[in-house]
Amino acid sequence: MTDYTTILKKTLKDPIAKDEALTLFKKIQTHGKLMDLLKVASKVRDDEVGSKVKLMGFIASITPCTVDPPCRYCFRWANERLFNIDDVLSDDELEISMRVVEAKGLKRVEIGGGTYLGEEGRKMTMHKLNIACKTSRRVGVWITNVSFNPEDVYVLKDIGVEGVTCNLETLNEEVYKRLRPGLNLTIRKRIIEETEKAGLGIDNTLMIGLGEYWNQQHPYEDWVEFLYYFKRFKNLRIMEIHPFRPVWNSPCQNMPPGSEFETIKAIAIARLIYRNIDISGAQSVQGLLAGANLIMHVYPITKGFRPWSRHQLFYSKIVKLDEDLVMVDNLLEVTRNAREMGFEIEI
């Protein structure tokens, strides 16, 4: 097995190969070795995409979720109002949201919602996306609700959508079935394949620690498989890597949260594989050190009940945009680390 330092030296110029990614996951097991990895990943980010941090807005929801049973780690277990029909923005609220996103200077926005199965879900998704894209042609719309069929991505393209986020989170079929028993991994893969053929952007998420138990060996092979699965898609534009978070009251509430150490390693290794795509995580010091250059969920806009009472993820002020529509004014909060570390912010 090649020494990890040899791989790190070589990857200053060239992307790492699959076996090298696995070696890095296995060999980087101390803080000193992590620092070596982060230094190289930061340099590759600076050389390949520069030190400018991009921002992605967030609007939700445009569809309820009818997946039954719900994914075993979903926020629906903690709050039954989430991804319920009352959580869906009206057409007017969506229009207001898009105007605000544009006025804030954001260049792209993720429009989210639950997986609304069947014909109703398709219709609602297309209807809402039509409104979003017509309201602003300057903001790139990325759809994340997966309430449509693989062949519908061509309709999404006609509507003016910029990209599709059809999150897989894991490619391990046993884990997928255990954690997301109401969903079909094969259909999700087909949506990504059609997205590629349609020429739309691809965004995807690897969830570190999904389905893992305490004392279990980290499934490094699975993570490497996941990262290299996307090599076949030339339209891969965004990679998100998050640790699993056990949701209160869910069947997973007692499972361990995903390892932060492994998450940072995975972000850095992703940067050594995918040199010039956007990688999320740039809101944290660790993410920036690992080569991230994208901050997700900037100025999130939702129904009023979502962020009230000082949301645990946000400390910023909440701005009322309409009767039952709010925005979390989090720009200064989420960009603070990047600004203080000397990165240029997109807006």
- Footprint of ligand SF4 on this chain (CB under 6 A)? 65, 67, 70-71, 74, 76, 83, 114-115
Please, what is the minimum distance in Å from the beta carbon of residue 146 to ligand SF4? 7
Please, what is the minimum distance in Å from the beta carbon of residue 231 to ligand SF4? 26
Please, what is the minimum distance in Å from the beta carbon of residue 73 to ligand SF4? 7
DSSP secondary structure letter of residue 12: T
C-beta atoms surrounding 173 within 10 Å: 10
Which C-beta is closer to ligand SF4: that of 182 or that of 304? 182
CA distance 172 to 174: 6
Which C-beta is closer to ligand SF4: that of 113 or that of 281? 113
Which C-beta is closer to ligand SF4: that of 40 or that of 255? 255
CA distance 242 to 23: 21
Which C-beta is closer to ligand SF4: that of 6 or that of 249? 249
Which C-beta is closer to ligand SF4: that of 247 or that of 326? 247
10 to each of 1, 7, 17, 20, 225, how far by Cα in Å?
Answer: 15, 5, 11, 11, 21
Q: Pairing relation of β-strands 294-303 and 317-322? A: unpaired
Kindly provide the residue ranges of all beta strands, DSSP E only, lying in the chain, ordered along the sequence: 52-60, 108-112, 140-143, 163-165, 201-208, 236-243, 278-279, 294-303, 317-322, 325-329, 344-345
Which C-beta is closer to ligand SF4: that of 61 or that of 135? 61
Please, what is the minimum distance in Å from the beta carbon of residue 83 to ligand SF4? 5
58 to each of 2, 70, 94, 140, 233, how far by Cα in Å?
Answer: 42, 22, 11, 12, 25
Please, what is the minimum distance in Å from the beta carbon of residue 12 to ligand SF4? 38
Please, what is the minimum distance in Å from the beta carbon of residue 186 to ligand SF4? 16
